[in-house]
Amino acid sequence: MSHNDYDFELVRGLPQTLPAGEQLLWQGSPQWQGVARHVFHVKKMAFYFGVLLLADVAHSMATGQSTLQALVDSRGPFVCACLALAVTLTLAWFSARTTVYTVTSRRVVIRHGIALPMSINIPFSTVDAAAFKIRRDGSGDIAMKLVRGQRLGYFLTWPHVRRWHVLQPQPAIRAIADVSSVAGVLGSALAAAAGNAHTAKASAKPPEHSGASGSLSPAQPVAA
């Protein structure tokens, strides 16, 4: 796996053109609303600011101020909260706009980065298994568990990682529409790559030494 800065894309979402024999299977970007809700947690932020504002108003009223005066006095914190939410929504929008996920017949490529664009190349040979999480609207995430010995930096890859898996980061395709369909494409590609690898191994060694050494699992659903 590698991290590569890029200045100009010959192919959208890819640091270079695909080599002969490699096919583009799917390409897409995250939904910015999903990034805002599930990556930047904008709803939780709004709830938190709302509680603080209500507490401030309640405290002012408890000290003898009228409701109107308490609301007027809280306009400063209200403006600050709105600015914070606006900045967060803007970051979510830019994050989604600058991200392109690509699934080919051999790998997954994650192009991301607002200030420092980079591409994360994840060959199928480094993927041990994949799982997807689906939400009520059909969108969701697909996380990839890497084989032992393969590792990506959590903070360098964020937000395109499975949350809370800091010690063993799992790169992820996040907040995409129709995640079930994309998971099917990735699962089929992983299964095909695992079958091809096993066939090549079996043909390269005598039968008595050609046992499977662990297969790559197609994407399976996990609890939302």
Domain borders along the chain are 2-30+99-221, 36-95
Q: What is the mean pLDDT of the chain?
A: 84
Of the pLDDT bands very low, low, confident and very high (cuts 50, 70, 90), residue 195 is: confident
Top pLDDT among 56 and 213 is at 56
Does 121 have pLDDT greater than 80?
A: yes
- Average of pLDDT values for 219-223? 41
Q: Kindly tell me if the per-residue pLDDT of 208 is higher than 70.
A: no
Average pLDDT over residues 111-120: 89
Tell me the mean pLDDT in the region 175-194.
93
pTM, full prediction: 0.80
DSSP helix/strand/coil, 51: helix
**In the predicted model, what is the mean pLDDT of residues 184-196?**
89
**What is the predicted pLDDT for the residue at 199?**
46
- Cα(202)–Cα(13) distance, integer angstroms: 35
Handedness of CA 36, 40, 44, 46 (dihedral sign): negative
* Paired tokens of 148: 């032992």
In this structure, how many other beta carbons lie within 10 angstroms of the beta carbon of residue 141? 26
* Architecture of the CATH domain 2-30+99-221: Roll (2.30)
Give the per-residue pLDDT at 1.
56
Residue 25: per-residue pLDDT: 96
Interval 146-171 mean pLDDT: 91
Residue 193: strand, helix, or coil? helix
Per-residue pLDDT tens digits for 20-70: 999 999 999 999 999 999 999 999 999 999 999 999 999 888 888 888 888
Provide CB contacts within 8 A for 222, sequence distance 6+.
131, 132, 133
Q: Is the pLDDT of residue 110 over 70?
A: yes
Identify each DSSP E strand in the chain by its residue range.
Answer: 2-5, 24-28, 100-104, 107-112, 118-123, 127-134, 140-146, 172-176, 220-221
